[in-house]
Homo-oligomer: A and B are copies of this chain.
Amino acid sequence: MRVTTSFPLGTLRDTPSEAEIISHQLLLRGGFIRRVNSGIYAYMPIMLRVIEKISSIIEKELNNNGCSKLLLPQLHPSELWKKSERWEGYTAGEGIMFNLKDRQGKEFGLAPTHEEVITSIASEIINSYKQLPLCFYQIQTKFRDEIRPRFGLMRSREFIMKDGYSFHSSKEDLSSFYGKMEKAYENIFKNCGLDTVGVDADSGSIGGAASKEFMVTADVGEDSILFTESGSYAANIEKAVSLPSDEIPLKKSKEVLFETPNQKSVIDVCQKNNLDASQIVKVVLFVAKFENKSEVPILTCIRGDQHINEVKLFNLINKKYNSNLIHLKILEDNAIIEKNLINFPLGYIGPDINDETIKNTSNWDKSWIRIADKSVSSLSSFVSGGNKINFHKVFQRFSFVEKNYLISDIRNAKKGDRISIESSEELKEKRGIEIGHIFQLGQKYSEKLNAKFSDKDGQLKSLWMGCYGIGVTRIAQAAIEQNHDENGISWPIQISPFEVLIIPTNLKDPNQKKLTEEIYKEFKSKKIDILLDDREDRAGVKFKDADLIGIPFQIIIGRDSINKEVEFLCRPSKSKIKIASKNLLEKFISESKVMYNKNS
């Protein structure tokens, strides 16, 4: 293509002030995207080529895996999301689904994900186990009304995703297909020229059993990954499991209340009373609000030197109850405490606080849901709140199990933790950008949407489901985060808008013009993805733009045209050679081959 007649560039001289991270800045400066509103961008022609290359890498791999591409609607009727009990959670409060009413007053959501729609269609077209497994996928614009849109395409309100949904006749078949998809995902990211790491992940509001995220590691990533150097373990911090350091045993003493005036924090109590945080049991209170409008008070206990992982806690509570958990809030608002609790000494609560603290007039459930992290269940004695203002208490042989505590892992793993009793490996931490996520959903959606098939023995059973997402526009930006230098982007050749760029330095020179056209036509005839910067701008401007937009090879046509010589430049290595134009095509083919192989 030619820049002047059919492929306008729109590079900027200055870095737009709105962009906080380098990949976002380069997308804007390179003219790849233009902001239309907060978190809403136009993909300019040069960006669309990147998106299409990523899309076709995904399509090729998924088609080989027996997946079928379709296209589902973006406007979803609320009825479907009410069947899966996700409407409230996705639209009310912190919900991220844009929603509207049509002219008849009917409610619709703008789809952030498609479990409901595809399960509903599957329920209509799948009758028999003979049709299974089936996997449908689409590549489509999705919507999320983000609380804080930022980082360009990393967290935008409109973005392109590949989402796929598989249907199976058994848990085993789902699990085996999930394994194949994991492999397909590794291939896709490799074929996009990306370095990624797969990590155990939380399955969040999507739900289900197993789930794995694929991360591009980068300092600006919004996710924290905990991993071992050996590669034996890697998980999102939301999901990671580890062992806390050993506690320092509390010296024997009587079970006794002691005064701790104004010592509301673990640090204060430790400092003033010569205690170690591992000797404290910290009590953290929450209120859980469910889709069916019920509200339940939650009492959690964790060792004083550890922290509650709210994602783990959320999932635990969500699984325990029939209704969907909409949100979980720390109890700290005095007005809410006074309305629902009697004589409640916040900051001095112990694990033995009784249910009578909940007022009869409260609309909360009338007993505390008690959850203790594993880190406290083994403590034989500890200090915790005395249930009296300005008092703490020494507890001896307190049994969390006997006091109706559910013992579970609700602790944040952190770097330095050991991964298991058997291993001495310690966790390390790095940041990652999530670009893919796969889930074993199980029968969650098929049960709620009544999607059944008849099994070999003629019995009707709920379908087993998996779901598989890739952030297409996010891949594009993550690739920049991983591949850039001080002059601009350096695209992996697989997803670069073009493979090679011709830069004639002065088209008024007839030799240059002639040689430029010859080379352009020769490359075009070999179906090479080539862009010709035929603008009349100064050479310096064109060189700057070339480095900024990051096409991996540049052919610079200058004064040596008269000798039929050009310069051939490799963007990532910055290496530049002078070469006779008759050898250029061959050189490009061999060099680009090396680059394709190196990246994938």
- Assuming the contacts A34-B121, A36-B117, asked whether A69 and B45 have C-beta atoms less than 8 A apart, the reply is yes
Contacts of A599 in B (CB 8 A): none
A68 near B40 with CB under 8 A, answer: no
Is residue A272 within 8 Å, beta carbon to beta carbon, of the partner chain? no
Indicate the member of A63, A73, A102 with the most B CB atoms within 10 Å: A73
B158 near A73 with CB under 8 A, answer: yes
B8 near A68 with CB under 8 A, answer: yes
Closest B-chain residue to A62, C-beta based? B6
B42 near A68 with CB under 8 A, answer: no
Contacts of A70 in B (CB 8 A): 42-45, 47-48
Is residue A204 within 8 Å, beta carbon to beta carbon, of the partner chain? no
Minimum CB–CB distance from A536 to chain B (whole Å) comes to 8
Minimum CB–CB distance from A102 to chain B (whole Å) comes to 5
Partner of A5, one of B51, B66, B103, B141: B66
Is residue A335 within 8 Å, beta carbon to beta carbon, of the partner chain? no
Contacts of A72 in B (CB 8 A): 36, 42-43
Is residue A594 within 8 Å, beta carbon to beta carbon, of the partner chain? no
A75 near B34 with CB under 8 A, answer: no
Q: How far is the CA of A134 from the CA of B157 in the complex (A)?
A: 28
Partner of A120, one of B36, B43, B48, B121: B36
Q: How far is the CA of A536 from the CA of B128 in the complex (A)?
A: 13
Contacts of A158 in B (CB 8 A): 73-75
B103 near A100 with CB under 8 A, answer: no
Contacts of A48 in B (CB 8 A): 69-71
Contacts of A99 in B (CB 8 A): 100
A68 near B45 with CB under 8 A, answer: yes
Is residue A314 within 8 Å, beta carbon to beta carbon, of the partner chain? no
Interface of A is mostly: mixed
Q: How far is the CA of A478 from the CA of B315 in the complex (A)?
A: 50
Contacts of A43 in B (CB 8 A): 70-72
Is residue A205 within 8 Å, beta carbon to beta carbon, of the partner chain? no
Contacts of A77 in B (CB 8 A): 36-37, 40
Residues of A within 8 A of B (CB-CB), count? 55
Q: How far is the CA of A103 from the CA of B99 in the complex (A)?
A: 10
Minimum CB–CB distance from A379 to chain B (whole Å) comes to 43
A73 near B103 with CB under 8 A, answer: no
- Assuming the contacts A71-B42, A75-B37, asked whether A6 and B117 have C-beta atoms less than 8 A apart, the reply is no
Q: Chain A 215-231, CB within 8 Å of chain B: the 1/0 string? A: 00000000000000000
Closest B-chain residue to A137, C-beta based? B45
A73 near B7 with CB under 8 A, answer: no
Q: How far is the CA of A355 from the CA of B393 in the complex (A)?
A: 92
Contacts of A8 in B (CB 8 A): 68, 125, 131, 134
Q: How far is the CA of A47 from the CA of B68 in the complex (A)?
A: 11
Minimum CB–CB distance from A268 to chain B (whole Å) comes to 38
Closest B-chain residue to A117, C-beta based? B36
A40 near B145 with CB under 8 A, answer: no
Minimum CB–CB distance from A522 to chain B (whole Å) comes to 20
Q: How far is the CA of A525 from the CA of B494 in the complex (A)?
A: 25
Partner of A98, one of B7, B45, B100, B120: B100
Q: How far is the CA of A99 from the CA of B75 in the complex (A)?
A: 12
A157 near B40 with CB under 8 A, answer: no
Closest B-chain residue to A67, C-beta based? B6
Q: Chain A 21-51, CB within 8 Å of chain B: the 1/0 string? A: 0000000000100101100111111011001
Minimum CB–CB distance from A121 to chain B (whole Å) comes to 5
B42 near A157 with CB under 8 A, answer: no
| Chain A 478-515 residues near chain B, CB threshold 8 A | none
Is residue A136 within 8 Å, beta carbon to beta carbon, of the partner chain? yes
Is residue A124 within 8 Å, beta carbon to beta carbon, of the partner chain? yes
Is residue A143 within 8 Å, beta carbon to beta carbon, of the partner chain? yes
User: Can you sample 13 A-B contacts with CB below 8 Å?
Assistant: A5-B66, A6-B66, A6-B67, A7-B68, A8-B68, A36-B72, A36-B77, A40-B75, A41-B73, A42-B72, A42-B121, A48-B70, A98-B100
- 5 tightest A-B CB contacts, nearest first: A100-B100, A45-B68, A43-B71, A6-B66, A10-B125
Residues on A lying within 8 angstroms of B by beta carbon are: 5-8, 10, 31, 34, 36-37, 40-45, 47-48, 51, 63, 66-77, 80, 98-100, 102-103, 108, 110, 117, 120-121, 124-125, 130-131, 134, 136, 141, 143, 145, 147, 157-158, 536
Given contacts A8-B131, A36-B121, A48-B70, 10 further A-B contacts (CB under 8 A): A6-B67, A6-B68, A36-B76, A37-B77, A40-B77, A42-B117, A75-B98, A100-B100, A102-B157, A103-B145
